[in-house]
Chain A
Amino acid sequence: MNVRVLFFASLREKVKKSETRQTVADGATVGDLWASLCREHAALEPMTASVSFAVNREYATRDVVLSDDDEVALIPPVSGGVDTSRAAV
């Protein structure tokens, strides 16, 4: 499968590009994609605990299974999230 990967902010600066296409195995998850990207770009590895993901513009957990042509955004921490209440909506 082929997915479109978008890099933003600190991640974009680390890999020096804002997007790429990545080939992943059928049944691959978001987590699998991230691991694959880390193998290609060692600079991503330290962000592993703090990065979030979106698939087709919706937040997705690492166990979400990808589909061909998905748009996966790598989302570094957004500003102000640490101090505010994280009460579920």
Chain B
Amino acid sequence: MPAEAIPGEMGVFEIHTKSIDVDRVIAAVANPAAGAIATFIGTTRESNEGRRVTRLEYEAYPEMAVAEMRRIGDVARERWAISEIAIAHRVGIVPVGEASVVIAVSSAHRVAAFEACHFAIDRLKEVVPIWKKEHFEGGELWIGSQTGEAFPTGQRAPRP
């Protein structure tokens, strides 16, 4: 069961503490007006930069993560003619081969679904406050911490 689920007519954005039910994310966007459903599934890969990965571990700032996911949905809806979008991200340990994130987008025609789905995962990785810790043979490492730059300024205006 998701730890925090925000259902609604404008899409579903959730943080899950256990394995993600992909069919359920798809069901959240399926509807009779859609001729296409595009999905993206991010999975734990067994190697990274020459290291043998044993598992990934994700940590979230859940309330803000869901808010940022919802914003991604809003932008996707503005830029493409899509019907619905759903994003589910798992936190905690995600073993090799299992899904950490599932995105589904429905639209009348397939180009919009493909493009919006691509945008959604790229944008999620930039702005959603969820962190990935790689456990590998010999150690562990927070991904992004060694080379990461601060989120670009100016993307949100300072409050008056």
Residue of A nearest to B72 (CB): A89
Query: Which residues in B have their C-beta under 8 angstroms from that of A88?
Result: 152, 154-155
Q: Is the interface of B mostly helix, strand, loop or mixed?
A: loop
Instruction: Tell me if A37 counts as interface (CB < 8 A to partner B).
Output: no
Q: How many A-B residue pairs lie within 8 Å, measured between CB atoms?
A: 113
Contacts A54-B61, A79-B132, A80-B144 known; A61 to B126 CB distance under 8 Å? Answer: no
Residue of A nearest to B158 (CB): A64
Query: Which residues in A have their C-beta under 8 angstroms from that of B126?
Result: 78, 80-81, 84, 86
Cα distance A20–B17 in the bound complex, in angstroms: 25
**How many residues on the A side are at the interface (Cβ–Cβ under 8 A)?**
36
Contact: B149 with A50, CB < 8 Å?
A: yes
Contacts A52-B150, A54-B129, A86-B126 known; A60 to B156 CB distance under 8 Å? Answer: yes
Query: Which residues in A have their C-beta under 8 angstroms from that of B129?
Result: 8, 54, 73, 75, 78
Q: Is the interface of A mostly helix, strand, loop or mixed?
A: loop
Interface flags for B119-160 (1: CB within 8 Å of A; 0: not) read 000110111111111000000001111011111111110110
B61, B123, B145, B151: the one within 8 Å of A89 (CB): B123
- A4 → chain B, closest Cβ, in Å? 13
Contact: B148 with A9, CB < 8 Å?
A: no
Query: Which residues in B have their C-beta under 8 angstroms from that of A85?
Result: 122
Instruction: Tell me if B21 counts as interface (CB < 8 A to partner A).
Output: no
Query: Which residues in A have their C-beta under 8 angstroms from that of B64?
Result: 54, 57-58, 73
Instruction: Tell me if A10 counts as interface (CB < 8 A to partner B).
Output: yes
Query: Can you sample 20 A-B contacts with CB below 8 Å?
Result: A9-B142, A13-B142, A50-B148, A52-B151, A59-B127, A60-B158, A61-B158, A64-B159, A65-B158, A76-B144, A76-B148, A77-B147, A78-B128, A79-B131, A81-B125, A81-B126, A81-B148, A82-B147, A82-B148, A89-B75
Task: Report A's interface with B, CB cutoff 8 A.
Answer: 6, 8-10, 12-13, 47, 49-52, 54-55, 57-65, 73, 75-82, 84-86, 88-89
Contacts A54-B64, A78-B125 known; list 15 others, CB within 8 Å.
A6-B61, A8-B61, A10-B142, A50-B150, A54-B129, A58-B64, A60-B156, A62-B153, A76-B131, A78-B129, A79-B143, A80-B143, A80-B144, A82-B147, A88-B152
